[in-house]
Amino acid sequence: MQNIIRTLCAGLALTTALAIAPAYADMLKFKVMLSGAQEVPPTTSKGMGSIDITYDSATKTLSWTGSYMDLTGPATMAHFHGPADVGKNAPVEIPLKAITSPLDGSVVLTDAQAADLMAGKLYFNIHTEANKGGEVRGQVLPEK
């Protein structure tokens, strides 16, 4: 009987320790390489840029920093779109408030947006007056 009680107490202690142990988030890294060739349809823009993205899976926070250059004019809009594979268009999922280079910001994703991110179905693009549909674009891909 004493062995059963010891076993039960040990099991309860382990269960309690696991229940109060902190959850560890995965900090995932993604990269976006922007070019006119990736727009749908492609543009002849000489514009280019890159965005580094970190995703905290515990808080579902997507954070980004990046820059762009050589657009045909000032950016008029910038945002993440999805869900879409490379070469496909999709609606805006995450609009950016600050669109001048350098870019930085963060947002808490919905479950659907997080699923799109993890499935490689988000892309980022920047619009200009000369290219209202988007001047440069890049798929959000895991950093290698």
- Read off the pLDDT of residues 110-139 as tens digits, 9 standing for 90 and up: 999 999 999 999 999 999 999 999 999 999
Q: How many residues does the chain have?
A: 144
- What's the one-letter identity of residue 85? D
Residue 48 three-state SS: strand
| pLDDT band, residue 144 (cuts 50/70/90) | confident
d(Cα 74, Cα 70) in Å, to the nearest integer? 10
Residue 85, in any domain of the structure: yes
Residue 65 predicted with pLDDT over 90: yes
Q: Is residue 4 part of a domain?
A: no
CB 135 within 8 A of CB 42: no
Mean pLDDT of 38-46: 97
User: Token pair for residue 73?
Assistant: 């004019």
Residue 16: inside a domain, yes or no? no
Q: Which pair of tokens denotes residue 67?
A: 């820059």
Which residue from 91, 90, 36, 96 is spatially nearest to 65, judged by alpha carbons?
96
Q: How many domains does the chain have?
A: 1
Domain for residue 73, yes or no?
Answer: yes
Look at 11-25, 47-61, 74-88 and tell me which has the smallest mean pLDDT: 11-25
Domain presence at residue 17: no
Pairing of strands 92-95, 103-108: unpaired
CATH of the domain at 110: 2.60.40
Coil, helix or strand for 74? coil
Decide if 6 is inside a domain. Answer: no
Q: Region 30-43: what's the mean pLDDT?
A: 97
pLDDT at 122 (0 to 100) = 98
Average confidence score pLDDT of the chain: 88
CB 122 within 8 A of CB 28: no
Question: Which range of residues forms the domain containing residue 72?
Answer: 24-142
What pLDDT is stored for residue 25 in this prediction? 64
Residue 44 lies in a domain: yes
Is 60 inside any structural domain? Answer: yes
58 dihedral zone (left: phi>0; alpha: psi -120 to 50; beta): alpha
State residue 51's pLDDT score. 98
- When pLDDT is cut at 50, 70 and 90, the band that residue 79 belongs to is very high
**Beta bridge pairs of residue 50:** 33, 67
